[in-house]
Structure 1
Amino acid sequence: MSNPTPLAGKVALVQGGSRGIGAAIVKRLVADGASVAFTYVSSASKAEALQDEILAGGGKAVAIKADSSDAQAVQGAVAKAAQVFGRIDILINNAGVLALGSVEDLPLEDFDRTLAINVRSVFVASQAVLPHMGAGGRIINISSTNADRMPFAGGATYAMSKSALTGLVKGMARDLGPRKITVNNVQPGPVDTDMNPADGEMAPGMLGLMALDRYGTAEEIADFVAFLASPQAGYITGANLTIDGGFGA
């Protein structure tokens, strides 16, 4: 018989958890029994609504304002989560930005912000969480199928930021393996979110590149993340795991 709450007693921190894929992950981890802290930067009303919804349903959650481009803010969010719940067993690095533009004219500020949020915050949060994480810990990054395939112009910086996580995860898996902590990337393809809606201007082109003629849902990504956070995934580490409807097929 399957365990309906495989994460009972566990504590998770989700970077970027107030909306979209992040919010779906927060809800799924809570449903699986975890206590969840999650960060937000600009969506205060959505973060508060999500926190209140979970608390009203009997779950445990706390929303923490923290800009993932600010290393000190990320470190502070980790410290706050550990203070509230006592430790952190699962870290989900979901915060991300998408800055599109040709290498000919992409502002350097956009390049730097992309790296700060999509790459540096992953390192900063992972480093900060380790004093609070024991054996069996999980670090899971939400990367992108664009780490392997960028089929349109203007996405060089975004693709670079996501492919950087491939090397980071492989190295971190080696560093943390002796501590029985696993580290993995989840690489979604087109998912129906505010950043890339299924009815948006990019959708027709995206659908033409996929084996399945539809966008994914945030809940499907959350299901995959929940599996990686579960005891059943204890032998998976250093992996780049794609869930993209055949975008890269």
Structure 2
Amino acid sequence: MAGRLDGTVALVTGASSGIGEATAVALAAEGARLVLVARRRDRLEALASRIGGDAVVIEADVTDAAQAQAAVAQAVEVAGRLDIVINNAGVMLLGPAEEAPYEEWERMVAVNVTGVLATTYAALPHLLSAAETAERRVADVVTISSTAGRIARAGSGVYNLTKFGVGAFSEALRQEVTKRHVRVGLVEPGATVSELRDHLRAPIRDAQAERFRTMEPLEATDIAEAVVYMVTRDRRQAVNEMLIRPTEQET
């Protein structure tokens, strides 16, 4: 049986682990050729071997606009086109503003905002072209956000800022390109098993673990399924936003 994404090329940032890795596997299962972008080449190469076929590995730090744009250019040069972009690279560094190292704030803005902007900026001309000329006549850019893009919490101010920000950017961009059949989507996961909490300082990490101790979190594959749903809809359908929380998560 043919995959629903046969003949397409999909680029995934932050593909070396978690949601990015699961999404790459899920898109490949639907027939897409994958372009895997992250800083950890060894993990990308291992993932490319698992996926098989002609997956492209690009080592890049998307917080550097030049590297993000070069990654997109290399993807198009090697694969010949670009139909789907998944902005997944992200970092979550929580804690009270009074005690926070300013470098953590800078890092979140760089990864969660600059990385999305640089990658989308570079990819947009290619997505518009695919929507106009490719067999599917539609293209997609999906950004992985968070429930933190909907609900602000004490100790999460800058993370909230980045996620509210990419939500606003996504909606504005959607309005600009939707009549040209580039669909702009946002996925907002709740508590999900990933490496995000590994980056937290120890007391904050322990507090987060306690908060979710009695809750069964989402798996990365749950979010990957949502992404696949969005990008495999018929050309007439645009799923612009999906909020996905564990059943037991209240906020």
Query: Pick from 211, 227, 230: which aligns with 1:225?
Result: 227
Q: Which runs of 5+ in 2 are unaligned?
A: 132-137, 199-204
In 2, Cα distance between equivalents of 1:160 and 1:131: 27
Query: Pick from 104, 116, 122: which aligns with 1:122?
Result: 116
Question: What residue in structure 2 maps to residue 12 of structure 1?
Answer: 10
In 2, Cα distance between equivalents of 1:117 and 1:39: 13
Q: Which runs of 5+ in 1 are unaligned?
A: none
1:85-104 C-alpha deviation (Å, 9 max, x unpaired):
10100000000011223221
Question: What residue in structure 2 maps to residue 68 of structure 1?
Answer: 62
Residue aligned with 1:139, SS: strand
* 1:49 is aligned to 2:51: no
* 1:176 is aligned to 2:173: no
Equivalent AA in structure 1 for residue 160 of structure 2: A
1:115-158 C-alpha deviation (Å, 9 max, x unpaired):
1210122121111112222211100000001111245x421111
Alpha carbons of structure 1 residues 83 and 69: separation in structure 2 relative to 1, 3 Å: same
Question: What residue in structure 1 maps to residue 202 of structure 2?
Answer: none
Question: What residue in structure 1 maps to residue 245 of structure 2?
Answer: 244
Alpha carbons of structure 1 residues 234 and 144: separation in structure 2 relative to 1, 3 Å: farther
* Contact persistence 1:192–1:216 (CA under 8 A): yes
Give the structure-2-normalised TM-score.
0.87
Question: What residue in structure 1 maps to residue 134 of structure 2?
Answer: none
Question: What residue in structure 1 maps to residue 143 of structure 2?
Answer: 141
Equivalent AA in structure 2 for residue 166 of structure 1: G
Q: CA RMSD in A?
A: 1.9
Equivalent AA in structure 1 for residue 85 of structure 2: L
Residue correspondences, number: 235
In 2, Cα distance between equivalents of 1:78 and 1:185: 20
Instruction: State, as a whole percentage, how many aligned pairs show the same letter.
Output: 33
Of the structure 1 ranges 104-113 and 131-140, higher mean CA displacement relative to structure 2 is found in 104-113
1:58-96 C-alpha deviation (Å, 9 max, x unpaired):
x33111111121010000100011111101000000000
Q: Give 1:234 shift.
A: 4.5
Question: What residue in structure 1 maps to residue 126 of structure 2?
Answer: 132
Alpha carbons of structure 1 residues 8 and 129: separation in structure 2 relative to 1, 3 Å: same
Question: What residue in structure 2 maps to residue 78 of structure 1?
Answer: 72
* 1:205 is aligned to 2:211: yes
Question: What residue in structure 2 maps to residue 187 of structure 1?
Answer: 188
Alpha carbons of structure 1 residues 173 and 132: separation in structure 2 relative to 1, 3 Å: same
Q: Give 1:233 shift.
A: 6.9
In 1, Cα distance between equivalents of 2:2 and 2:189: 25
Which is richer in helix? 2
